[in-house]
Amino acid sequence: MKNTSKEYPAALSSLMKASSGEKPTLAFVIFPGMTPLDMIGPATVLEVGGWLNIEYVWRDLLPVHTELAHISFSPSITFEQLDKVDILCIPGTGNPYAVLSELDMLDWIHKVGSKAPWVTSVCTGSILLGAAGLLKGYKAATHWSMTDDLNEFGAIPVNKRVVIDRNRVTGGGVTAGIDFGLTLLAEIKGEEYAQAVQLAMQYSPEPPFNSGMPELAGKEMTNATLQAIFSNVEQQTPNYKEILIKSAKRISDIY
C-alpha cells in the first residue's frame, strides 16, 4: 500500500485520541513461567490510542510469577469470568512442555479461541495454541529451537518472524513480539496507523550483532545455544518428549 502525505495526519490524529464506544477485547493468557517480553512487547504496541480493552487472564487473580526472578503479573480477570474475546494472544515460555499440564488453561484457550476473530501467539505460545487444537492445518511460527514441535499438533512450521494464515497470527521468538504487534495492528487498524505507532515507539532496531537466527549465527553457536536451551528444559522437565507426544494425542481424544 502506497502512503500519501494526506493519510499520515489522519493516522497520527487517531493515535492521540482515545477510542470511544464499545471496544474490542484483547486477552493475553498469563501463566507461571511465561516470558514477560512475549506479552509486554505486543501489549505496548497494541494499546496505543486506547482503541481496545486488554485483559490479562488466568485461573485466579493471584500474582503470576514469570520466568524472570521478582517479576510477576497481576491477572485482571479469570477464565470463568471471560468467555468471549475479539483477539486471543498466548505468550510463550522457555519451557512450554512444563505448561502443557495446565489442562484447564488449554481447554479455555480451545473454547474461546474456537470462536475468536483473531487467534494469535508469540514465541512458544504457538505450541500452546497447538496443544489447544487451534493450529491444525495452519502455518505458524515459534521460537527457532522448537519449530519442529509444531508438527506434533498438525501445524505447518514456518521459519519467519511473523506468520499470518487466515485469522491465525503467530510470532517467532521473544523479540518478534513487537513485529507481531505491529503486523496485527496493520491488519486491524491499517498500515498508516501501524506505521505511526512504530514511529511513536521509535522502533528502528539496529542489533549490535548479526546472530539473531541460526542461519546468521552459524552451526557452532547454534548447536551450543540449542544444547543450553534444552539442558534447562531437561532439568525442569526430564520427560518433556513424552509430555509433548501425550499432549498431541490429547487433541484427537478431547477436541
139 in a structural domain = yes
Which CATH number characterizes residue 136's domain?
3.40.50.880
The average pLDDT across 169-185 equals: 99
Asked if the model's pLDDT at residue 233 lies above 90, the reply is yes
| 217 inside domain | yes
Choosing from 88, 119, 123, 244, the catalytic residue is: 123
- Containing 57, the helix (H) or strand (E) segment is strand 53-58
| 1 in a structural domain | no
The pLDDT of residue 12 = 52
**pTM of the shown model:** 0.93
> Residue 77 above 80 pLDDT?
yes
Query: Which residues share a beta bridge with 120?
Result: 89, 169
The residue type at 192:
E
Averaged pLDDT score across all residues of the chain: 94
**Mind listing the pLDDT tens digit for each residue in 3-32?**
433 444 555 555 555 556 789 999 999 999
What CA–CA distances, in Å, run from 25 to 78, 83, 125?
Answer: 14, 11, 19
Residue 89 falls in the annotated catalytic set:
no
Among positive and negative, which fits the CA dihedral 90, 136, 237, 211?
A: negative
Domain residue limits at 67: 7-254
Domain count, the chain: 1
Residues 6+ positions from 113 with CB-CB distance below 8 Å? 88, 119, 129, 132, 134
Residue 99 is assigned to a structural domain of this protein: yes
**Would you state the pLDDT for residue 22?**
86
Residue 2 domain-assigned (yes or no): no
